[in-house]
Amino acid sequence: MSKLNRDFPSDVITDILCQLPVKTLLRFRCVSKRWHSQIDGPDFVQLHLGRSLATKSNLSLILKKWYLYSAEFDSLHTATELNPPLNIIWGLTEVFGSCNGLLALCNSEEDMALWNPSTRKYQRLPVMLVEPPSGDVRPRRFTFYGFGRDPINDDYKVVRMVQFVSQDGDDGFFSTELKVYSLKTNSWREIKDFPYYLRFMFQLGYLLFYRRGYGVFAGGALHWVLPPGFGWDCQIVAFDLGVEEFRIVPLPDHVDQGFEMDLAVLEGCLCLLCNYDNDYVDVWVMEEYGLKESWTKLFDVSQSTLNRAFGHVMPLAYSKSREKVLLEVDRDKLFWYDFRRRRAKRVRIEGAPNSFSADIYVGSLVPLGGGEVDRKALKPQKERKKSNTKHMDKFLSKGFKLTL
Amino acid sequence: MADDGVNTKVEAVSKATTETIELRTEDGGVFDVDKPVAMEFLILKSFYEDEGRVFDKTSIRLPNVKQLELSKVIEYCTRALEFGAKSAAAAGDKDAERMVRQEREGFEAEFVDELSNEMLKELILAVNFLDIKEMLDFLIRSVANRIRNRSVAYVRQFFDIENDFTPQEEDQIHQENAWAFEGVDAD
């Protein structure tokens, strides 16, 4: 075997490294000082992430019921259990955001963390107490969450917005607490200035449905639904993570009214889901963020498409060939919807819980400071699962905390 | 360079009236390559386009390429052009497109399976020199697949990289992600 007498070009090595999964790259940090500094370098982290997103590699589906699971997107064959860093308060750890390889987790409003399951590093957020309004009356409250990337400051941010409404509802008492966490500074900051219409986001009927309090990240902003009220139809509320301001995102011009609205994101593009009485759902995608004219009706799904009645549809990702889209239906089923054939095919993942919330996740080297997960120490206690499952099945919605 | 007596004439895609270009490798190989295939080598294409010359059967010496590599390159590029043509013909017919894709994947898997690590590296160097983007992408993908579940020692040997860490330094870095060393293929 002859020794190579020519140097292997460095851009070829970079291209090879870009195609490797995170676990491999973490191992290859040991190869040499040059490889170590390259793999750790922020340029390479971005390059690797960019390539993963562009070629749809290193993708998984994160599933959550009592515990967290992940399934490789390429095959969607088997779900393996994950060991997240927060002390697992059995069943209550929620994933409220997934961005560039980081997952945002919370056990409660004051116990949150960012976690990269690919590198197994995590960062616990400093505890930031919720300050309820003063007074004798104990208000009802609801907490909105969101996580995403601030492209202007190259930062990752968590948004926590707690809304308080008086018990009587009609007497007008209301207050909002809005706090934003920045990963870069590892600190929270309160925002006191926000538009009046935010108060109308708190509608019990709308928010009962699981996860509607979690913001959808697209175009550098987090989005929530402003349900219809007196004198207006639903709107899309956006919080720009760069300038930390709210705005309304315009809806498509020719959309029929009378629907219940949900939001989703497909490959970074904001999606509007118009559910007409659970009869059919129109899925619109905003091809160019912020441009009203770029709203395009992507497809619609009806009872006959899915061969069953349904209540709620959520698109997750396109297939590699873009001929199909992965749909989560009613929090317990997955389908591939074929655009050309206009047919849906059920996906069954071995080992997946029988109902779940789903998020798309891309494996990346995006770094987090602080702690690392010790697999043995945090193994969840499976024995408790059986007795509590029945009880929890009756519980309506995880994201909804009614304080009476 | 002295002719060592090995004179390999390889006729690529057999079309009666296709023009060919003669390529000579550094170890005395001589190849008659169909023009469409040769034009996939951007290094040649830009030579012909820059010079603005009328195409004639000039003989070109390739200083950094040996016959074994060139014959492999010609084989791959010829098939790649064929697949490109088949793909274009199948356009619009999803099933036919899938068949072409699968046939291509089958060919590529077989092609790379037969390559030793040394040969794979030599091909990358040759293809990088000849500037053939599609084949370079394919070879890079193949190397990534080959090493993804390999040990650090294997990879050092593959790329001829010297370990410039002290044992303590390497141990430290290893400990930072000890779990990443589990389940690796044995050397």
Question: For residue A371, what pLDDT band results from cuts at 50, 70 and 90?
Answer: low
For chain B (187 residues), the mean pLDDT of every run of 10, in chain order, is: 43 58 90 90 80 65 91 95 92 88 95 95 94 95 96 95 95 96 92
Side chain identity, residue A143: T
Measure the CA–CA gap between A330 and A167, rounded to whole angstroms.
31
Given a contact cutoff of 8 angstroms between Cβ atoms, the answer to whether B124 and B73 are in contact is: no
Please give the residue of chain A at the shortest CA–CA distance from B133.
A12
Three-class DSSP category at A217: strand
Mean pLDDT over A292-305 rounds to 92
pTM higher than 0.90 for the full model? Answer: no
Checking if the pLDDT of A402 tops 50, the result is: no
Phi, then psi, of A146 in degrees rounded to 5: -165, 150
- With CB atoms and an 8 Å threshold, state whether B170 touches A27: no
Q: How many residues does chain A have?
A: 404
CB within 8 Å: A27 and B181:
yes
How far off is chain A from B127, nearest CA to CA, in Å? 11
Distance (Å, whole) CA A178 – CA A189? 9
CA–CA separation, A297 vs A343, rounded Å? 17
Scanning A265-348, the segments in alpha helix (DSSP H) are: 303-306
Q: What is the ipTM of this complex?
A: 0.86
Tens digit of each residue's pLDDT (9 = 90 or more) over A43-100: 999 999 999 999 999 999 999 888 889 999 999 999 999 988 876 565 678 899 999 9
- In this predicted structure, what is the pLDDT of residue A168? 67
Query: Chain B partners of A19 at a C-beta cutoff of 8 Å?
Result: 140-141, 144
Separation of alpha carbons A338 and A342, rounded Å: 5
Handedness of CA A398, A400, A401, A404 (dihedral sign): negative
- The pLDDT value recorded for residue A85 is 83
Please tell me the distance in Å from B41's CA to the nearest CA on chain A.
17
- Which one-letter DSSP state was computed for residue B11? B
Interface contact B147-A120, CB threshold 8 A: no
Inter-residue contact A289 to A218 (CB < 8 Å) = yes
Contacts of residue B152 in chain A, CB cutoff 8 Å? 27-28, 30-31
Beta-strand runs (E) in A227-366: 235-240, 245-249, 260-266, 269-276, 280-286, 295-302, 313-318, 324-329, 333-338, 343-347, 357-362
Counted across chains A and B, CB pairs separated by less than 8 A come out at 76
Angle at A301 between CA A296 and CA A307, to 5 degrees: 165
- Dump the DSSP string for A50-97: HHHHHHT-SEEEEEESSSEEEEETTT--B-EE---SS---TT--EEEE
